[in-house]
Structure 1
């Protein structure tokens, strides 16, 4: 049974599913077609330490680096808009959380925002496709939002949990880079 979440909610993944060692984190959205600039959304996963910052620039997974340096996080499919495979058993112990963001690519058709984005979601499923949790990002006034944290997988002692976020940035990728201490 899928758990539907609200912003800030947490869900136990491995405590509820003791044999769970791999998950698929799927991201999806609809973009209203436009004759002008249209949002080109780009997903990004950041592997963070206890301080909530990226461990290094090598601890990113995105279109130019589709697998983390340790192989535990990788883009695998686009059955949803994007799917990221996470081997929970292979995530290095120094990784406290994996944050899943989506930003509007400023290099494609000019600066865009989430204003034209509808039905954005993040979901966590088992390898065989059984959905564990789903978070539909609230579609408020996103005219100035150009990057957003959809959710995160995080360690709580020896268990993995998921937290729904929906936290937007008006400072785009620059704000994300500053918050997670990554260089662009």
Structure 2
């Protein structure tokens, strides 16, 4: 298993020939408080070669739990949240899949990541053999309400994973603008 730092990447299919089923798991702890608490929601965005969403049908989140082509979708929860990826079914025009976690603005709660600790993303085989893990760096995150945890991307004929850990203070509107989607 590789533990990654921000910006680092790891080969997945090149080091694991025949690998097609992946599980992307997310986890975190939220500091308990008597007041509102953050409700975190993962979002997968299937992107073209320019890093933009192919369409609003190429998103996976709580209102659309499986991508239109069936290649990406939520699954049972070994982690706080999990998304399955069937690499063999990912359409050829998808160059990368970006995994974002946001603070749900519709839930009366904290509006940023300041109470979130020990956040991670991990990539495992379909039978839960962990391949890579990225623990997001701790920080104040008082202005951050969306975090890009990581991305799966094509590199020639192989798939790799890149640890990101980049935050937005502009919420889902910033994500929508960057990825050309309607949220």
Tell me, in whole angstroms, the C-alpha distance in 2 between the residues paired with 1:95 and 1:141: 34
Aligned to 1:9: 8
TM-score (norm 2): 0.98
TM-score, reference length from structure 1: 0.98
- Are the aligned partners of 1:37 and 1:112 in contact in 2 as well (CA < 8 Å)? no
Question: How many residue pairs get matched?
Answer: 183
Cα RMSD between the aligned structures? 0.8
Q: Unmatched 5+ residue regions in structure 2?
A: none
2:161 paired residue number: 162
Q: Distance in 2 between matches of 1:111 and 1:141?
A: 14
Q: Equivalent residue for 1:121?
A: 120
Listed one character per residue, the Cα deviations across residues 3-23 of structure 1 (whole Å, up to 9, x for unaligned) are 000000010000000110110
Asked whether the 8 Å contact 1:96–1:155 carries over to 2, the reply is: yes
- Separation in 2, partners of 1:155, 1:15: 11
Q: Name the SS of the counterpart of 1:114 in structure 2.
A: coil
Deviation of the 1:92 alpha carbon? 0.2
- Secondary structure, counterpart of 2:114 in structure 1: helix
Report the Cα distance in structure 2 between the residues aligned to 1:15 and 1:179, rounded to whole angstroms: 30
Q: Runs ≥4 in structure 1, deviation > 2 angstroms? A: none
Gaps of 5+ in 1: none
Structure 2 residue 61 is matched with structure 1 residue 62: yes
2:75 partner SS: strand
Query: What's 2:85 paired with?
Result: 86
